[in-house]
Amino acid sequence: MSASTAVEAPLEQTDTRRWIALAVIVLAQFMVVLDVAIVNVALPSIKTDLNFSEQNLQWVITAYSILFGGVLLLGGRLADILGRRKLFIAGIALFTVSSLLDGLAWSEGSLIAFRALQGLGAALVSPAALSILTTTFAEGRERNRALGIWGAVSGSGAAAGVLLGGALTSAFSWSWIFFVNVPVGLLVLVLSPLLLRESRADLADRHFDVSGAAAITGGLMLLVYSLTRATTHGWGSGSTIVLLAASAALIVGFLVIELRSRAPLLPLGIFRLRTLSGSNVTGLLLAAALFSQFFLLTLYMQQVLHYSALKTGVAYVGITLTIIIVSAVAQALVTRIGVRPLLPIGMALAAVALVLYARLPVHGHYFT
């Protein structure tokens, strides 16, 4: 999504139609965020059925996340140039088809490939959906309210994913954590042409910067792959060093491409803004802690404490409810006292929780 989006006039729609349109794009965003976490509880079942190795199991999550994050900026640019509704629909179609393929996966490699394809679909959906929101609601109270709903749904999607994943895996099988997306995706596909208006950004330069997106995505994938290999081949092995060097070269190459591009995906000058840089670092650390805890705690509960998939999902209810309730309270507090006093408190609480997680015993219990 380009910077010009914020100044575009919202499209004229009836009040009811606009809020129904919001429900459609929020549903799509919930599905996208949900799929980052819903897989966690099903990992032990997936590992057994598809004969995953311990090292490769993380790629079920990582393949989705890297393609999602790596192509996200390019997805925003494509939406601005080609049309936001058009890209939103294309992304939902790709996401829905790949979800079906995920559930039908027959091997380790096929599931990882289909998850990567699903992440690509998510990277097209998310920026297009947010752009549609900002062009549908006028700046001010209504847009703030719509963005608050968007943020609450996005924040609760990951927490709800582990609960839903446990229920579906126990009731049916791990395939259903992917099949559940199909009817939702089809519903969004049917409603989108009826409720969403097409819009484009008025850009002076229509450059896509595909090379930048390819460099950062490839660099991140090589980085994760090299870190995974290092646990078995050693940090000092030639292959590990070569892979880490190649990853660093691609990431540096991305920075060089962005500095030289006439229309960069990521204008590096924006990081001179301390507030923006600080909030992005905070978001990175928080997301890393949140999603890694889902991965590790699920394996701990199912492989060490021998919880069933359903019991593991229910065990996450505390986190789910806390995120939903506190996010609503935090939204009100931010309006009154600002962001700066709240961020350190939230990060400090997260740090204390991570320290406590690190002390989990082999023979632990839910409340101890």
pLDDT of 305-364, one tens digit each?
Answer: 888 888 888 888 787 778 778 877 877 787 778 777 888 888 888 888 888 888 888 887
CA pair distance 135, 6, nearest whole angstrom:
8
Closest-CA residue to 196 (of 79, 97, 81): 79
Closest-CA residue to 191 (of 180, 183, 199): 183
What's the pLDDT at 203?
A: 66
Calculate the CA 41 to chain-centre distance. Answer: 17
Domain parsing of the chain, residue ranges: 12-209+261-358, 210-260
Specify whether domain 12-209+261-358 bears CATH 1.10.1060.10: no
DSSP assignment of 103-133: HT--SHHHHHHHHHHHHHHHHHHHHHHHHHH
Q: How far apart are the first and last CA of the chain?
A: 45
Interior angle at CA 123, CA 71 and CA 126, nearest 5: 135
Q: Quick one: tokens of 180?
A: 């559940």
Q: Quick one: tokens of 222?
A: 């090589």
User: What pTM does this model have?
Assistant: 0.78
pLDDT in tens, 216-259: 888 887 887 787 777 777 888 888 899 899 999 999 998 898 88
CA pair distance 316, 238, nearest whole angstrom:
41
Interior angle at CA 177, CA 171 and CA 183, nearest 5: 105
362 burial via Cβ count (<10 Å: 0-12, 13-18, 19+):
exposed
The residues, any chain, with a CB within 8 Å of residue 176's CB and separated by 6 or more, are 103, 168, 169
What mean pLDDT is predicted for residues 106-116? 93
Q: What's the whole-number average pLDDT of the chain?
A: 83
CA pair distance 94, 186, nearest whole angstrom:
11
CA 152 vs CA 128, 137, 329: distances in Å: 18, 17, 11
SS3 content of the chain, % helix, strand, coil (to 5): 80, 0, 20
What's the pLDDT at 114?
A: 96
305 burial via Cβ count (<10 Å: 0-12, 13-18, 19+):
middle
Model confidence band, residue 89 (pLDDT cutoffs 50, 70, 90): very high
Model confidence band, residue 4 (pLDDT cutoffs 50, 70, 90): very low
What mean pLDDT is predicted for residues 139-160? 75
Q: What is the SS3 assignment for 245?
A: helix
Q: Quick one: tokens of 307?
A: 């919880």
